[in-house]
Amino acid sequence: MDNPYTTLFGKVPAQMIPRSQQAALVTDSFLAQSPSQQVYVVTGVRGSGKTVFMTDVSRSLARDDRWAIEELSIEQDLLVGLAARLSNQKGLSRLFLEAKIDLSFFGLGVHVQGAQPITDVGVALERMLEVLKRANRRLLITIDEVVNNAHMRLFASTFQILVRKDLPVFLLMTGPYENIESLQNEKTLTFLYRAPKIRLEPLGIRSIATNYARAFGIDRERALKMARRTNGYSFAFQLLGHLVWERKGLTEQTLEEYKAQLFELSYDKIWSELSPGDRRVTYGIACAVSPKVQDIRTYLGLESNQLSPYRRRLINKGIVDGTQRGRMSFTLPCFDEYVLERYGEDELLI
């Protein structure tokens, strides 16, 4: 058999633990006759499975032939890109042609006899969605790893108008906390601030153990030991499974390789996106005598009001677990070791 685990970010692995409850929340909302929500924002630490979750929801809705699914790239003109994809989608192009929607101004398709070319892409999308509505069709747009750029701001503003006009358009987008926050804080995009957010928490250790036990044919106790090494971090679950499969067993060498790849493939990127203050606080968590907030503040020499903003941000980023009152600990496996390697005593004094 091929290795059922993958270390490629965004790739749907053969072995995965579905987030069924959260996925059902989105699909049930979108499938409702009168949807109460038309947009969901999926966030979580890098490697938490945001892209896989989005793909899972998309595939679920795609099984219903009333749905058109379009994935857009944040690096392109999102509105023109959406119009192009819709106009070329099998089964929809005929509907748009019959409705005499002429997109030749944008270089899409050919001129429609007897129709005036549409020169505003927002108007074009509105006309196309009106056609879908009459045909009892719905459109799901997915955008992965959103950023606050001009393309995204214009798209979000247009999407807001389309929703206000009661058109059958739905949006599912993913991104790290700081990117989502930046976009939501745009004054003209208040609807995104109110949009429901799905934060991907760590996977259940027991679910991971069950998966490992089945995949490797090992007993429950050994599977639990493996699972605990992942801390429920989705990428760690895939990485450890991948390495154990390739090396045909969990050895000390496998664990060293696991840690090295975890640091290089995931934590380096997470670390690069932390502010100097965030890094300093993570160092305090790694060095303090206990995970109590009081001990971390004492080690760093910070007052409560000085630590609180960093604590809140690190929790929102998915790096720190704040579920236990008065305590702070890392959600990521071996992250304390990573921090100690990357952050020296001399850096703490800067």
Kindly give the confidence (pLDDT) of every residue in the chain, 350 residues in length, as a single tens digit, with 9 standing for 90 and above: 789 999 888 777 888 888 989 999 999 999 999 998 999 999 999 999 999 999 999 999 999 999 999 999 998 899 999 998 998 887 888 888 888 887 776 666 655 655 676 778 898 899 999 999 999 999 999 999 999 999 999 999 999 999 999 999 999 999 998 888 888 888 778 778 788 999 999 999 999 999 999 999 999 999 999 999 999 999 999 999 999 999 988 999 999 999 999 999 999 999 999 999 999 999 999 999 999 999 999 999 999 899 999 999 999 999 999 888 999 999 999 999 999 999 864 455 44
* Total domains, the chain: 3
CATH number at residue 160: 3.40.50.300
101 plus 229 within the same structural domain = no
101 plus 135 within the same structural domain = yes
Report if pTM > 0.85: yes
Domain closes at, from 199, 233, 259? 199
In a domain, 5, yes or no: no
Domain closes at, from 176, 199, 222? 199
62 plus 175 within the same structural domain = yes
In a domain, 38, yes or no: yes
59 plus 170 within the same structural domain = yes
Burial status of residue 299 (CB atoms within 10 A of its CB: 0-12, 13-18, 19 or more): middle
267 plus 294 within the same structural domain = no
Residues linked to residue 70 through DSSP beta bridges, in sequence order: 141
CB 84 within 8 A of CB 72: no
- Distance separating alpha carbons of residues 231 and 297, to the nearest angstrom: 25
159 plus 99 within the same structural domain = yes
In a domain, 326, yes or no: yes
266 plus 290 within the same structural domain = no
In a domain, 45, yes or no: yes
pLDDT (tens digit per residue) in 155-165: 999 999 999 99
Q: What residue numbers bound the domain in which 245 lies?
A: 205-271
